[in-house]
A and B are shown apart, each in its own frame.
Chain A
């Protein structure tokens, strides 16, 4: 039984180890190890395309995760007090948001936004003349699409925490005459804070790592996963390994933190 578990863990982590191993390879070829070197990290970090893609991914992930956490947390709190048909409808929408495959979200967002832009852009031209701002796919559409999905995720996570919360505390607060807003700020918020932070971290990593939605809605922007995908098409290089190692190590650290926050008991 233990051996079996060990084998599965090896299966899960050896490929990650191999990516890291070959990222330190001195030689150009991914086939044999010819010595230790950090040159591929240097090359990756000197590549303006990599840095540009990294900046785009980081900006999109930061903004979309922040907005998703804000809106998602508020929604989770509001949903706590809701019953009946409206609640069921909301649950269904959240369920659809989490379960519909990323590729369908990507496609749907692409054609919906293009249709809307095609309708609005001529109006903008009419209204403002030749210098009118034109709508198009880009960072904005990435943020909107990623945020929609991660917001649903935040709602699910925060709600799980709210359900585990001691209701007596809320009642005590109300009995002592605290107005609802104050109860929210001083009782509810500190209690759900770890879940909110975990939700933010998950939302950030999801957006940062997402390829499939970005592939459809990025327009002319290049995110880091899009850059990696198009590099893989051209072949395996130690530079991709170096980028991959950095991304994996960073996201593993963030995710383990998030999991720890989720599992920590409320004080």
Chain B
């Protein structure tokens, strides 16, 4: 077989699949978003910007998302960085792989069941009753923005740790030694050596977490109890309950647009940070 013929044959099934199940559906969303709603809730073809002009009706959802997604990303970053540093620099090399696997693996297990765990921990019979026994009153934790933040950090921490680990692992440990040999205090070494050299990992991790948070539905649904809702929750409502598909399509298209802008800014920043681009590590 000629190499080019083989290439096309090998690529054909994947291409067909991507075209039918990714490209076509995304195009349909875009088309729907310019349509109008029929009497029975269906789609009537049109070319109007009405749905986009109406986005303000779901402003609260966008607002919540645009506040809690960056905040959640930042919290993940602050918690993840020292752990990544520990794994890359301080951990015993014999245990490093296992420790790393133990961080990554929870991310791939069911987020639904892992969020459910926090209902039990933060719910009335969990932590609040423990705190009450200590005589400090019974705080309400479940169905608050706090609970959603805990769920976010719990769900997405692994995704932040890994890219930072990859960046720090490449760091030449002699630089750290040189810095301390020359008498700089640890904090200064952190500010001037390890932090700047880990920036590519920080940027990758932050982008991954931020993007996934933008589309989050389950965590606010389960731990926010309908009081803390994201764009994802608005989308479920628009598609499965109020069945306003054209408007829902406009919300979804806007969400994707915001994400594309984020990714573009990220790629630009990365280009400026380093000449070459690290492969985005999802694993």
Contact = CB atoms under 8 A, between A and B. Distances in A.
Interface of A: 1-2, 4-5, 8-9, 11-13, 15-16, 18-19, 22, 29-32, 70-72, 74-75, 77-79, 81-82, 90, 93-94, 96-105, 107-113, 115, 144-145, 147-148, 151-153, 155-157, 160, 180-181, 202, 205-206, 209, 211-212, 215-216, 225, 228-229, 232, 236, 240, 244, 247-248, 251-252, 255-256, 259-260, 262-263
B7 A78 contact: yes
B157 A104 contact: no
B245 A111 contact: yes
B97 interface: yes
B215 A211 contact: no
A108 B25 contact: yes
A1 B86 contact: yes
Given A108-B26, A209-B110, A180 B1 contact: yes
A109 B11 CA distance: 22
Contacts of B108: 202, 205-206, 209, 251, 255
A22 B120 contact: yes
B113 A78 contact: no
Contacts of A97: 18, 22
Contacts of A29: 125
Interface stretch (B52-60, B188-196, B197-205, B235-243): B235-243
Nearest to A206: B108
A203 B154 CA distance: 22
Interface in B100-119: 101-106, 108-114, 116-119
B22 A251 contact: no
Interface in B140-162: 154, 157-158
A209 B112 contact: yes
Nearest to A101: B215
A98 B101 CA distance: 21
Q: Which of A70, A107, A212, A229 has the most CB of B within 10 A?
A: A107
Given A77-B10, A102-B215, A103-B217, A8 B157 contact: yes
Contact of A93 (B6, B22, B118, B218): B22
